[in-house]
Amino acid sequence: MEVHGRWWNRAWGSIARRDIWLVSDGRLWRVRGRLGGDGGREVFYDFPDEGSARAMVDRMMKTSAGAWRDLTAAVRQESERRRLG
Protein backbone atom coordinates (compact mmCIF):
# COMPACT_ATOMS: atom_id res chain seq x y z
CA MET A 1 0.00 0.00 0.00
CA GLU A 2 1.20 3.47 -0.86
CA VAL A 3 1.24 6.20 1.80
CA HIS A 4 -0.86 9.21 0.76
CA GLY A 5 -0.82 10.97 4.12
CA ARG A 6 0.93 10.83 7.48
CA TRP A 7 0.22 12.96 10.57
CA TRP A 8 1.48 13.16 14.17
CA ASN A 9 0.04 15.18 17.05
CA ARG A 10 3.51 16.37 18.20
CA ALA A 11 3.15 14.64 21.57
CA TRP A 12 5.66 12.19 23.00
CA GLY A 13 5.03 9.22 25.24
CA SER A 14 2.71 6.27 25.33
CA ILE A 15 -0.25 8.19 26.75
CA ALA A 16 -0.41 11.34 24.62
CA ARG A 17 1.08 10.39 21.24
CA ARG A 18 -1.26 9.94 18.26
CA ASP A 19 -0.35 8.95 14.70
CA ILE A 20 -2.51 8.72 11.57
CA TRP A 21 -1.72 7.20 8.17
CA LEU A 22 -3.72 7.37 4.94
CA VAL A 23 -2.80 4.55 2.55
CA SER A 24 -4.22 3.03 -0.61
CA ASP A 25 -3.60 0.06 -2.87
CA GLY A 26 -5.37 1.77 -5.78
CA ARG A 27 -8.79 0.31 -4.95
CA LEU A 28 -9.14 0.46 -1.18
CA TRP A 29 -8.37 3.48 1.01
CA ARG A 30 -7.36 2.75 4.61
CA VAL A 31 -7.00 5.10 7.56
CA ARG A 32 -4.79 3.75 10.31
CA GLY A 33 -4.73 5.43 13.70
CA ARG A 34 -2.41 4.66 16.58
CA LEU A 35 -2.63 5.71 20.22
CA GLY A 36 0.76 5.56 21.93
CA GLY A 37 4.19 4.80 20.56
CA ASP A 38 5.37 1.85 18.48
CA GLY A 39 3.54 -0.68 20.63
CA GLY A 40 0.38 1.39 20.95
CA ARG A 41 -3.21 0.43 20.22
CA GLU A 42 -4.23 0.71 16.57
CA VAL A 43 -7.52 1.09 14.70
CA PHE A 44 -8.19 0.69 10.97
CA TYR A 45 -11.00 2.08 8.83
CA ASP A 46 -11.46 1.09 5.18
CA PHE A 47 -13.15 3.24 2.55
CA PRO A 48 -14.00 2.90 -1.15
CA ASP A 49 -12.76 6.40 -2.04
CA GLU A 50 -10.19 9.00 -1.03
CA GLY A 51 -12.73 11.66 -0.02
CA SER A 52 -14.37 9.45 2.59
CA ALA A 53 -11.00 8.39 3.95
CA ARG A 54 -9.77 11.97 4.23
CA ALA A 55 -12.99 12.94 6.02
CA MET A 56 -12.17 10.27 8.63
CA VAL A 57 -8.62 11.62 8.99
CA ASP A 58 -10.08 15.09 9.62
CA ARG A 59 -12.51 13.71 12.24
CA MET A 60 -9.73 11.84 14.01
CA MET A 61 -7.54 14.95 14.19
CA LYS A 62 -10.39 17.15 15.41
CA THR A 63 -11.27 14.75 18.23
CA SER A 64 -7.68 14.24 19.42
CA ALA A 65 -5.58 16.72 21.36
CA GLY A 66 -2.42 18.15 19.92
CA ALA A 67 -0.99 20.47 17.32
CA TRP A 68 -1.09 18.11 14.36
CA ARG A 69 1.87 18.07 12.00
CA ASP A 70 1.68 16.80 8.43
CA LEU A 71 4.62 14.44 7.85
CA THR A 72 3.56 13.32 4.37
CA ALA A 73 6.35 15.10 2.47
CA ALA A 74 9.01 13.79 4.84
CA VAL A 75 7.71 10.22 4.52
CA ARG A 76 7.73 10.47 0.71
CA GLN A 77 11.28 11.86 0.68
CA GLU A 78 12.50 9.02 2.89
CA SER A 79 10.75 6.45 0.72
CA GLU A 80 12.32 7.91 -2.42
CA ARG A 81 15.75 8.02 -0.80
CA ARG A 82 15.48 4.34 0.12
CA ARG A 83 14.25 3.42 -3.34
CA LEU A 84 17.20 5.13 -5.01
CA GLY A 85 19.46 3.74 -2.31
**Residue pLDDT, tens place only, 4-33:** 999 999 998 888 999 999 999 999 999 999
Dihedral over Cα of 61, 19, 11, 15: its sign: positive
pLDDT band at 78 (very low <50, low <70, confident <90, very high): confident
Confidence band, pLDDT 50/70/90 cuts, at residue 53: very high
pTM of the entire structure? 0.88
* pLDDT at residue 17, rounded to an integer: 93
Among residues 23, 65, 25, 71, which one has the least CA distance to residue 45? Answer: 23
